[in-house]
Amino acid sequence: MVRAQASMETRLLLRNGEQLLLAVVIPVLALVGGVLGAERMGLDLAHRPVDVLTPGVLALAVMSTSFTSLAIATGFERRYGLLKRLGASPLPRSGLLLGKVGSLLIVQGLQAVVICAVAFALGWDPGGGVTGWLVALLGALLGTLAFASLGLALAGTLRAEATLAAANLVYLLLLTGGGVVVPRSTYGAAEAPLALLPSGALGDVLRNALLEGTVAGSALLVLIAWAAVGSVLAARLFRWE
């Protein structure tokens, strides 16, 4: 039942143009535009622009799918009474949540394939080795848990229209000022506070892993803390109807 639910959730997401825009188009545009813009403007980065921006765009893809897309889709499912009906079906509610998580992981795998293909075409040369990829995978899983729990808490509390507006607003704010795509050091005085945001922590984990093969221990702890907070909020605030 969980596999069937995950398959259905994945098909629905891939058929939705707005969700595809968030999941694939915006991250790819951010990568290509960032690399070309950085090279033309001569930005002073510690590594080549494509090497710095690719981990950040992978982090952005995790955020866009596990937070924004999940929150919006769940909010409208709740509004239309779909969640209530599914909750009364033979599929247990835990199975529904596991199906959504499974769908997120499938979509994120597809995102990673597309983004990495574009990055390699732009000359990306990840320097973290096998260790870096394993640490990046751990960070992506923790980031998924953190953002998904926050997205479910948002979708289970607000009306669908308010969820749509809030999720998109948070996404834009974190995209432009959350330390996810570019290193926190480029934000000046805001560098230290951004380390406490899930977006900044996820960006740090993936950049450290895929650039140098190192583990950003404090950033992993921040993601774990956000995952715990989000899970508690989702469990207490989420309403199925």
Model confidence at 221: pLDDT above 90: yes
Residue 35 has pLDDT above 80, yes or no: yes
Global pTM reads 0.89
Q: Which residues are CB-contacts of 37 (< 8 A; sequence separation ≥ 6)?
A: none
Which of 3-17, 50-64, 164-178, 223-237 is the least confident region?
A: 3-17
> Model confidence over 95-148: pLDDT tens digits?
777 777 788 888 888 889 999 999 999 889 888 788 899 999 999 999 999 999
Cα–Cα dist 120/31, whole Å = 11
> What count of other Cβ atoms lies within 10 Å of the Cβ of residue 79?
15
Q: Is the pLDDT of residue 17 over 80?
A: no
Question: What is the number of H-type helices and E-type strands within the chain?
Answer: 12, 0
Closest CA to 225 of 146, 141, 138, 136: 146
Mean pLDDT over each residue of the chain, to the nearest integer: 84
Greater confidence (234 vs 165) lies with 165
- The backbone torsions φ and ψ at residue 233, rounded to the nearest 5 degrees and listed phi first, read -65, -40
- Cβ atoms of 233 and 153 within 8 Å: the answer is yes
